[in-house]
Amino acid sequence: MADLKQLARQIFQETLAAIDIPATMQRKLRREGTRLLFNGTSIELHNFEKLRVVAIGKAAHAMVNGLGQVLAPFVKFEGVVSAPTPPKKPVAGMKYFVGGHPIPNEESWKAGESILALLKKCDEKTLVFFLLSGGGSALVELPLDAAQTLGDVQQVYRALVTCGAPIEEMNTVRKHISAVKGGRLAAAANGATKITLAVSDVPAGRETALASGPTLPDPTTIAYVQRILREYSLRDKFPQTLRRWLDAGKMPETPKAGDRAFGKSHFLLLLGMDDLFHPAHHAAEAKGFIACCDNATDDWPVEKAAKFLLEQLDELRKTHAGQRVAILADGEVSSPVTGDGIGGRNSAFVLACVEKIAGKKIAVLSAGTDGIDGNSPAAGAVADGETLEMARAIGLDPADAFRRSGAFTFFAHFEDVIVTGPTGNNLRDLRILIAES
């Protein structure tokens, strides 16, 4: 069964190789002379005196490099980049910040100040590219209330990520108390023409959640924020400065559809769910698997998702008796931290499958396309029907490791962790479940 684990690894690696950001950007964003073409839109670059770039997220460096390749050699730009890692090769004219994730750091704050200062100077003769990818919420932050400190903002983030609210509700709160979220970067460059290019780790149709929607109209409201604060008892977990600001009724509504800030705005999804499924499906089929894609388990608890997807795999195997089959799933499962171990939601998903697949000709892999899984140095893990027996042979209990949130440590014993390092990309997590008769 070691071959099944290796096949799952190969499918994942080939999928990563296929979602190359610079190549995708050149495919979806074309320049013909001084005209820029995308999504049926044509922008005449000669109409602008200044070109500015704001890149935020885990894929920021690859997106800046890709844009440079599209525009070179005739157009130079300047701007701000905030990413979780420094650039391997800085681009001239760009200011770089290594922001914090999942909690903003001092560089996140400085990046927010630098971006607003840059956008303040933009006018009708300015073309601004916003390059957005996952992780952007924490990588750039600045509060609307000038009285709040970085420590206050960090306290807010800790309260949000531990309150049990889904990410969409966390982002709703962030948008309404931040100077750089919920459409406010678009408003900061009010008169400029704006092009937002996105590498999305959020479900299709929810693009306003990506990096907390800094350049898109915000569909959420103050009333919704107040409901979230009550439901999760958040007010008492917030710093005193923010409580005073909220109690004084100073929270303004976010910019909505129809606002002047979005009058000259364009949005292009560079990479999304389909761009992850398609190469994974192709890679699985090339290895002789009958493959089906399933995104029904997004945001499900990890154990519920594991049970459901394994049932789907079993049904597919019955339908195609005697043949190799694969279930491919994307999205993020919910795996609350219950211990002080090392791991993340992807390795936790695989751990939840270990006992269920014991003795079967099945392999399960789950990994983040950003190369990061929780507090571990891995992207995820892989297991097969022999994993449980190997674990028990050395005194390991999968259930105990799961309770301690120690999935990475568990799989590291068998060299079954998936280590890629930061990939410079950030689509959704990918789960690969494969079986043979």
Q: Are residues 284 and 374 in the same domain?
A: yes
Predicted pLDDT at 90:
94
Among 271, 293, 323, the domain boundary falls at: 271
Contacts 24+ apart (CB under 8 A), 235-241: 237/155, 237/159, 237/163, 238/155, 238/156, 238/159, 239/148, 239/151, 239/152, 239/155, 239/156, 241/145, 241/147, 241/148, 241/149, 241/152
Q: Are residues 254 and 124 in the same domain?
A: yes
- Is residue 107 helix, strand or coil? helix
C-alpha dist (Å) from residue 193 to 32, 69, 95: 19, 21, 21
Residues 363, 285, 275, 297: is their CA dihedral positive or negative? Answer: negative
Q: Are residues 77 and 144 in the same domain?
A: yes
CATH number at residue 239: 3.40.50.10180
Q: Are residues 231 and 350 in the same domain?
A: no
pLDDT tens digits in sequence order for the chain, 437 residues long? 559 999 999 999 999 988 888 888 888 999 998 999 998 999 999 999 999 999 999 999 999 999 999 998 777 889 999 999 999 999 999 999 999 988 999 999 999 999 999 999 999 999 999 999 988 899 999 999 999 999 999 999 999 988 888 888 999 999 999 999 999 999 999 899 999 999 987 766 778 888 899 999 999 999 999 999 999 999 999 999 999 999 999 999 999 999 998 999 999 988 877 788 999 999 999 999 999 999 899 889 999 999 999 999 999 999 999 999 999 999 888 888 888 899 999 999 999 999 999 999 999 999 999 898 989 999 999 999 999 999 999 999 999 999 999 999 999 999 999 999 888 787 889 999 999 98
Nearest CA to 61 out of 34, 22, 27 is that of 22
Written as six digits, the tokens of 419 are 């280590």
C-alpha dist (Å) from residue 14 to 276, 281, 309, 324: 11, 10, 22, 18
Is pTM beyond 0.85 here? Answer: no
Q: Which single residue is written with the structure tokens 């704006």?
A: 194
Range of the domain at 193: 20-271
Q: Are residues 222 and 110 in the same domain?
A: yes
Tally of domains in the chain = 2
* Whole-number Å distance between alpha carbons of 124 and 194: 10
Q: Is residue 14 part of a domain?
A: no
For residue 321, count CB atoms less than 10 angstroms from its CB and return exposed for 0-12, middle for 13-18, buried for 19 or more. Answer: exposed
CATH number at residue 429: 3.40.1480.10
Query: Cβ(408)–Cβ(342) under 8 Å?
Result: yes
Nearest CA to 165 out of 298, 304, 334, 402 is that of 334
Among 240, 271, 302, the domain boundary falls at: 271
Q: Is residue 15 part of a domain?
A: no
Element (H, E) at 74: none
**Chain length of the chain:** 437
Q: Are residues 100 and 244 in the same domain?
A: yes
Q: Is residue 172 part of a domain?
A: yes
* Whole-number Å distance between alpha carbons of 340 and 53: 40
Q: Are residues 286 and 206 in the same domain?
A: no
The alpha helices in 212-338, defined as continuous H runs, are 222-231, 240-247, 273-286, 302-319
Nearest CA to 302 out of 359, 366, 361 is that of 366
Predicted pLDDT at 206:
76
Q: Are residues 176 and 89 in the same domain?
A: yes
